Amino acid sequence: MAFAPAMALALMAGAATAQQRPITLDAKESYRAPAAEMWVFANKADLFADAKIAGIEIVQQETRIATNGDVRLSATPGQWDPLARVVARRVDRKTGVVEVDCEYPDQGFRYTVRTEPAGPAAVRVSVILPAALPAAVAGKAGFTLEFLPSAYWHNGYLADGRPGIFPLHPSPDMERTATRNPASGRSDGPGAEPLPMAEGRSFVLAPSDPAKRVSVRANEGSIALYDGRAQAQNGWFVLRSVLPAGRSGRVLDWTVQMTSVPGWTRAPVIGHSQLGYTAGAAKVATIELDRNDKTAANARLIRIDADGRETVAAQGPAPVWGDYLRYRYRRFDFSKVREPGLYLLEYGKTRTAPFRIADDVFADAWHPSLGVYLPVQMDHMFVNEAYRVWHGDPHRDDARQAPVNHEHIDLYRQGPTTDTKFAPGEHIPGLAIGGWLDAGDFDIRTQTQYAVVRSLVRSWERFGLKRDTTAIDWNTRRVEIHVPDGTPDLLQQIRHGALQLQAQFDAVGHAIHGIVEPEVGQYTHLGDASTKTDGLVFDPDLKPYEVKGNRSGTPDDRWAFTSKASALNYGSAAALAAAARALKGYDDGFAARALATAQKVWADEDGRAPDTFRHGNTTGGPIDAERFGAAVELLKATGDARYARAIEALVPTLGERLAYDLPTALDALPLMPASYRTALEAQARAFATRAAGFAKANPYGVPIGEGGWAGNGGVVGFGLAAYRLHEAFPDIVPARHVYDALDYLHGNHPGSDISFVSGVGTRSKEVAYGSNRADFSYIAGGVVPGALILKPDFPENKEDWPFFWGENEYVVDVGADYIELAAAADALSRKR
């Protein structure tokens, strides 16, 4: 026993020695110290100018707390402010120096950000100018480092030793400016920018919390602390030093001291389905461990009895799967447990929330998506839920013709002509009907509309989901959630989406890209969608804000982008043909119109050269793929052999794309010759090979995307393809891939164990990027993008900060696909 204190002293001395070593660059070019790391321009904002994933970033105790360390042109830069372009990045592993050359080409401004070790957990950050600041950016350019507000709430800071508290809600002093900051909304009229909360040579943030404590010292000049939320709810706390004018060389010199905690390890995460498992399904928990966690505890499945007693239903070692991203993984298989009941999982000191084992776990999983989420997303309708009004009847003034030769926000663009009889700015009658608000924003994206309609029709035709919990009055445009009206909700939603698609052909003769706000200030609107516009058609003959009847002099009406694109025509025709089948017997008149429109579109497009206008993600998929979808839906609707011939001719042209269109291709299988089945069997075998590769690439067995938008959409698509292929070729594609996809969505994924479907499962997304994101709330049944894989190796899904759209933004077509996938799993379970 006498030896123990001596050994403890030796260990402490070893830790102290390690602490004295300068921070180093690891193999992934990150500065790493125990429980602290800094990334230097590892990520870039590839969707919008500012996605809060760029520049210098800080991670402490496995939480990303700072980002966007770079030169910016305003004190509190936002989503629509310019971000510098990275020209070159150089890394010297031996010295630990990283240099990144950047430029603002429009301002003729170039600079270099240099980082180098400055202590055990400290990095020196410099900005080096090859020449003095251009006049266009003098007084505007400053180095900023942004800190996540939710990480610093209920905490304080020291500025040159003077104490301050981070406010829960922004209330800084403001300075009036000549024009509004684009990040905060409209560019016309006066605006304001926040003044600093504090200034000094050095700041210590969260000094009492080693997980959040960061010190920043200016080796010359001063630093100011700002609250960016005063201009936009998605703003961050910002430390900033203005770059001096008239100088070149090293013009900024900061030392950033992170907080390292030797021996700290992240608590295990037990990935599992928060929804639960059917009795006969494979049940595998994925235990995510810190790479430095060398423990090997037994895993346990615990049954919870009615009197609160806990019984161990299964236990044993969790074999090592291996390393993935930054973590080490073990897996615990408890498939042998089949008894229905309430259970939880335990590994070491980590316990999960309770979940079910029951044969009906999927029977109601889709209810919130169909009964709450889709109704809330309905445009041009007043939507009420019990005591709550989600929104009034929005956009009754839709829509004005977009200006020509105009590249707009959110990936919309109008070509050199309107391709309609309407002049730019002119009101297009008939568009204020139907459609779903695309995502957390409020546009109607046509490609999304037809994808949703087709998915809902598949759910109707394959699974007969006749649930009725939503009352819709088409005449008064009123929706009541949780109120039956005698009509299946699926049919009402199918009709609502098809109404908008049909309206486009009635109004301008072809499918349009979509309808979106005319300016950033409206686009960033948070709150009731009906307050975005006055609901009155703009009349240029009236004075601003003057109202006469149903017209006003306020040009707030949304714009319709109308350049012809054959891909959109085919995609819309496919949805209208599908809707016509579903709505027959419910609304025969509209069903006949929809089918006639789809057939006319096919005939018109087949008789001329295609319109190939393309821009962003608003003008449809590849033309052959969209034409293939139209041929399949029209064949199912009419049985006409010409569509079967078109399908046969199109299959060879699709190439690798066919792998993404497998559910569509399989829809035609019963109506096609044997040779068609042979071609799809080859696709089934290729799918099985890819799926086996996913099981080797990650411990979850599904495709995990690594782009700027997290990959739940791809996971849902994988599950749907697996279901259809298993139906057609059960000996080639097993059913387990369907369950793997749903287990992933419901909590068996990297980074956390939370269900990515709000309101589904014991613990689910309760802070998400919906229209109510400023309330830090959720919409039941919405599906978020999921775990965003940030370079070099970090899976992130913030549960306390909704404004990361790439992680947390609901998208209506994924919600519809989730309904289809959950219903598919329920159907599979019933067959067992």
pLDDT of residue 659: 82
The CA distance from 146 to 192, in Å, is 20
pLDDT tens track for 161-172: 999 999 999 999
Token pair 């419901």 is found at 746
DSSP H or E segment with residue 312: strand 310-317
Q: Please name which of 392, 225, 281, 206 lies closest in space to residue 742, comparing C-alpha atoms.
A: 281
DSSP H or E segment with residue 720: helix 712-728
DSSP three-state, residue 421: coil
> Which of these CATH numbers, 2.40.128, 2.70.98, 1.10.10, 1.10.3470, describes 3-257?
2.70.98
User: Where in the chain are the domains?
Assistant: 3-257, 269-357
User: Any residues with CB less than 8 A from the CB of 688 and at least 6 apart, and which?
Assistant: 732, 733
CB of 508 within 8 A of CB of 398? no
Residue 541: how many other CB atoms lie within 10 Å: 8
Topology classification of domain 269-357: Immunoglobulin-like (2.60.40)
Q: Kindly state the tokens that stand for 106.
A: 């429009």
Tabulate helix, strand, coil % of the chain (nearest 5): 30, 25, 45
Q: How confident is the model at residue 831 (pLDDT cuts 50, 70, 90)?
A: confident
pTM: 0.95
The CA distance from 240 to 222, in Å, is 9
Q: Please name which of 403, 373, 379 lies closest in space to residue 391, comparing C-alpha atoms.
A: 379
The CA distance from 74 to 201, in Å, is 20
Using alpha carbons only, give the angle 605, 609, 613 rounded to the nearest 5 degrees: 90
Q: Kindly state the tokens that stand for 250.
A: 């090293």
Q: Please name which of 427, 401, 426 lies closest in space to residue 414, comparing C-alpha atoms.
A: 401
CB of 174 within 8 A of CB of 192? yes
DSSP H or E segment with residue 164: strand 162-165
pLDDT of residue 592: 98
pLDDT of residue 521: 85
Q: How confident is the model at residue 190 (pLDDT cuts 50, 70, 90)?
A: low
The amino acid present at 574, given as its one-letter code, is: A
pLDDT tens track for 610-667: 999 999 999 999 999 999 999 999 999 999 999 999 999 999 988 888 888 999 999 9
Residue 610 phi, psi (nearest 5): -70, 150
User: Any residues with CB less than 8 A from the CB of 627 and at least 6 apart, and which?
Assistant: 566, 570, 605, 646, 650
- Order across the sheet with 444-445: list the strands: 400-401, 559-561, 514-516, 444-445
The CA distance from 764 to 600, in Å, is 45
Q: Is the pLDDT of residue 488 over 90?
A: yes
Q: Please name which of 667, 604, 674 lies closest in space to residue 634, comparing C-alpha atoms.
A: 667
pLDDT tens track for 89-121: 999 999 999 999 999 999 999 999 999 999 999
The 3-state secondary structure of 374-395, one letter per residue: HHHCECCCEEEECCEEEECCCC
pLDDT tens track for 196-250: 999 999 999 999 999 999 999 999 999 999 999 998 999 999 999 999 999 999 9
Give the chain's mean pLDDT: 94
567 burial level (CB within 10 Å; 0-12, 13-18, 19+): buried
DSSP H or E segment with residue 66: strand 63-72
pLDDT tens track for 508-524: 999 999 999 999 889 98
CA 137, 138, 143, 149 torsion-angle sign? negative
The CA distance from 779 to 24, in Å, is 44
Mean pLDDT, to the nearest integer, of 182-201? 73
- Order across the sheet with 320-324: list the strands: 269-271, 284-290, 327-333, 320-324
The torsion of the CA quartet 90, 94, 95, 99, rounded to 10 degrees, works out to: 10
pLDDT of residue 179: 61
